Amino acid sequence: MESLKLMTVSHSHHLPKIMFSGLELEHFGFHTDMLSTVAFENGCLTINACGTGLDTYHQIISGVRKNKQQIVQVMTWTIAKKTKDYLTLTGRWLEKYGFATGDLIVVSFDYRCIKIKKITLENMIYHMKHRVLLVYHAKSGGHMIPQLFMEGNWLNETGIKATDTLSITYEQNQLTFELDKQIGGKRTKQQPSQIKVSGKDGKPCVCLGGRWLESFGFYIGDTLIVQYRKHWVRLTRIDVKQLTF
């Protein structure tokens, strides 16, 4: 069964990188040591799982060279005595096909096949930095509630610090956080107009949760686009199901 996921192109040693790992690989038939071909056509990268071992390599190498494709392999790393499979696409060849660090991509997973396409979305401010975030969950009164959790180096880049106070502006499917601004949007008793930034070891952290988030369209498991600049962060909910190839 096909599954869609929104991601951004990361980087490694100043080169664009797209990486998949964990159970999603295994679930869709990409097992340890699996050799796969990577083809580019009509703006879409397609990864097809082929098999393992030298016999598989000899079967696919001539076609890969003829069609100017790539070969990638599912590798394994071990951390704290736990192993995890991962599949990485990286190199200048990604830039040749139009995939640069920071690009927004939609990924389609099917059995032994992964498709990747660069996308643009309405109302995106593309000169800003952006990333992908999921709506998490927390337990409150024995019930699961949606929770927004923001932390990391990207939040440091905004200049927002632990102990800062952020104002919150609310719109349907969108929340905007801004430093030292007193004007909030529509709010309820449960819905804060400001939030205090917490932190640990000097790293800022913003955590916001409650059933009231659902009234603005934010549900557990939803995909969000995070846009950010100095002293400003905007979260926009994206309906991944409407993204097609």
Residue spans per domain, the chain: 3-118, 129-242
- Report the distance separating Cα 24 and Cα 4, nearest Å: 11
Rounded-to-10 torsion of CA 136, 141, 143, 148: -20
Phi/psi at 162 (nearest 5 deg)?
A: -60, 140
Determine the pLDDT at residue 142.
87
Chain-centroid distance of CA 13 in Å reads: 20
- Report the distance separating Cα 206 and Cα 179, nearest Å: 12
C-beta neighbour count of 62 within 10 angstroms: 9
Q: What is the DSSP letter of 62?
A: H
Determine the pLDDT at residue 85.
95
The whole-number mean pLDDT for each consecutive block of 10 residues of the chain, a chain of 245 residues, reads 86 94 91 97 96 97 96 92 93 95 92 92 67 92 93 90 91 90 51 86 90 93 92 90 71
- Report the distance separating Cα 232 and Cα 86, nearest Å: 34
Nearest to 204 by CA among 168, 160, 167: 160
Q: What is the DSSP letter of 30?
A: -
